[in-house]
Amino acid sequence: MVVHLTLAGLWGGLLALERRAFLQAMFSRPLVAATGTGLLLEDAESGLFVGLVFELYWLGSASLGGVHQDHETLPSVCAAAFASTVSAAAHSPGTTAIWSLAILLFAPMGIAGRAIENALDTRAVRYLGEAMTSAEGENFRRVARQNLWGMWPHFVAFGLLSFAAAAAGYLFEPIERDMPRALLRGLGWAYPVIASVAAGLAVRGSSSKKAAVLASAAALAVLATLAVTGRFS
Amino acid sequence: MTVTKTLARSVRLRVFWRSLFIQAGYNPRGQQSLGLTYALLPALKALYPDPRAEGEAVQRHLATTFNTHPYVATAMVGGILHHEERIARGEAPPASAQHFKASLMGPLAALGDGFFWFSLRPACGALSAALYPWLGVWCALLFLVLFNAVHVTARARFFLLGYRHGDGIVAHLSRANISRWGERLRAVAAASAGALAAYLSVVFANRSGLSVPLLTGACLLIAVLSFAVAVGRGARWAALYGSALLAIVAGALQ
């Protein structure tokens, strides 16, 4: 358990840095972040299915000109960590019910992540002030360090939240065991519905001029293929 | 004695590496100015041996707001090196670097946002997600490979173009006709999302043991409604939680 919680915290913190401060090579996108969380916590399937939904849900969102959108990395890591640690505590594979619950519980963390990011941005003004004072004193090494200091608060804040989400999975597992079967069945039904909503939003988020036509044609092609192969009956 | 002030390759590489941290100290006042200065410091040290002149150059970049797309920022960084070399040689006034930044950071930001954030990333994300039935968890790796093959190449190329051509980078970027690729990539994203919606609805309808055509039809209807109504952020949340609640109630009552 300690290893899982530590890995979740480190991974969440590093991804917050990758998303914001360094490289932006898309390790922090939901598909990669959540799948990676699942792999680290030994439940890659839960990570993948949480990541698929969040990737689609936030497909077309982007922070522009300093105006932040929802923080898609934080809910992805938290939900995948929660679902994976519930499975680990139960010694059983992930279920659609837990994936749905994780997505519904942690999706609002996107708003929380954005608020934290805005607060840390405001805090970072002090590093600029320090850098300007250092530049006036011709202490250029200190100027350089101020830029790097700006990364620590992101690492700590998002790492702690990811750690907490993984811990919540372990704490929740006994509750899940006692949940009514009907509710679990309902949550299981919710997964494809949530995925459908996310896919509809992704088609809009694609910003293509012919989004509706292309998405419909592709959906029909898939349905026809599945019908021919006998999986749609 | 004439001093030829040209930056060594090792210094340019250090500047490029440091430009990857351009958003580390982002703040509402100077935005990326701290990150930009951090990237430029090795070059400014090499170009201005006199600490006072170096300090003036540092202040030049630290004190003015800078904000652009983090990938095309490398073009700006390369272009600033081009100008700073000329300033150090006495061929251009110190204001030339400021003019370069002020005139290009907005247009280049728009270019980067439109191509990388609204075209390439959705296309790679949706396509990789749509290929999960074949690739499983490897679809996440595919996303990284597809996106970064373009991203890393572009970042390095932008830096070189900026350094070699300075203000002439605009002409080189316009020749690349990046916007033409944008619509194609957005079309890939839309088609992939549609295909994935259909696949997931059939797979999970099969798992439920209920009528597959009925459940698939219901899921696809929900996807169409989400596409049609969820324009604002509030509507997106309402679509997500409203649909989930209906499904939970229906499943619980079944």
DSSP single-letter state for residue A67: B
pLDDT in tens, B87-134: 999 999 999 999 999 999 999 999 999 999 999 999 999 999 999 999
The Cα–Cα gap between B109 and B120 comes to 15
The pTM (predicted TM-score) of the whole model is 0.95
The percent of residues in chain B predicted with pLDDT above 70, rounded, is 98
Is A20 an interface residue toward B (CB < 8 Å)?
yes
Question: Which chain A residues have a beta carbon less than 8 Å from that of B213?
Answer: 232
Range of the domain at B45: 9-103
When pLDDT is averaged across residues B150-177 and rounded to a whole number, the result is: 92
End residue of a domain, out of B103, B131, B153: B103
Question: Which chain B residues have a beta carbon less than 8 Å from that of A31?
Answer: 125, 128-129, 139-140, 143
Across the interface, whether the CB atoms of B189 and A206 are under 8 A apart is answered yes
Q: How close does chain A come to B227, measured CA to CA in Å?
A: 4
Instruction: Say what the pLDDT of residue A64 is.
Output: 84
pLDDT in tens, B233-252: 788 999 999 999 999 999 89
Question: How many Cα neighbours within 13 Å face the side chain of B98?
Answer: 13
Domain contains B161? no
In A, residues 126-165, which contact B (CB 8 Å cutoff)?
A: 127-128, 131-132, 135-136, 138, 140, 143-144, 146-151
| Contact of B198 with B211, CB cutoff 8 Å | no
| Contact of A190 with B248, CB cutoff 8 Å | yes
When pLDDT is averaged across residues B75-96 and rounded to a whole number, the result is: 96
Domain contains B174? no
| Contact of B97 with B60, CB cutoff 8 Å | yes
Q: How close does chain A come to B188, measured CA to CA in Å?
A: 8
Question: Which chain A residues have a beta carbon less than 8 Å from that of B190?
Answer: 203, 206, 208, 210-212, 214-215, 218
Domain contains B153? no
Query: Residue A200 is nearest to which of B70, B230, B252, comparing CB atoms?
Result: B230
Domain contains B80? yes
pLDDT in tens, B192-213: 999 999 999 888 888 777 778 8
pLDDT reading at B1 higher than 50: no
Instruction: Say what the pLDDT of residue B206 is.
Output: 82
Domain contains B63? yes
Query: Residue B29 is nearest to which of A27, A125, A195, comparing CB atoms?
Result: A125
Domain contains B109? no
pLDDT reading at B220 higher than 80: yes
Instruction: Say what the pLDDT of residue B3 is.
Output: 53
Instruction: Report the 10 Å Cβ neighbour count for A166.
Output: 30
Q: Which segments of chain A have a pLDDT < 50?
A: none
Query: Residue B137 is nearest to which of A29, A44, A203, comparing CB atoms?
Result: A44
Which distant-in-sequence residues (6+ apart) come within 8 Å of B19 by Cβ?
A: B39, B73, B74, B77, B159
Across the interface, whether the CB atoms of B24 and A22 are under 8 A apart is answered yes
pLDDT in tens, B39-58: 999 999 999 999 999 999 99
End residue of a domain, out of B49, B68, B103: B103
Domain contains B144? no
The Cα–Cα gap between A168 and A227 comes to 41
Across the interface, whether the CB atoms of B186 and A146 are under 8 A apart is answered no
pLDDT reading at B4 higher than 70: no
Question: Which chain B residues have a beta carbon less than 8 Å from that of A125?
Answer: 27-29
Domain contains B234? yes
When pLDDT is averaged across residues B218-226 and rounded to a whole number, the result is: 91
ipTM of the complex: 0.95
End residue of a domain, out of B103, B119, B144: B103
Which distant-in-sequence residues (6+ apart) come within 8 Å of A16 by Cβ?
A: A28, A73, A74, A154, A155, A157, A158, A159
Helix spans in chain A (H): 2-20, 30-40, 44-57, 73-90, 96-106, 109-123, 125-136, 140-149, 152-177, 181-205, 211-228
Q: Which residues pair with B66 in a beta bridge?
A: B31
The Cα–Cα gap between B63 and A221 comes to 56
Question: Which chain B residues have a beta carbon less than 8 Å from that of A220?
Answer: 198
Domain count, chain B: 2
Question: Which chain B residues have a beta carbon less than 8 Å from that of A115?
Answer: none
Instruction: Say what the pLDDT of residue B2 is.
Output: 45
Instruction: Say what the pLDDT of residue A233 is.
Output: 59
Nearest CA in chain B to A68: B28
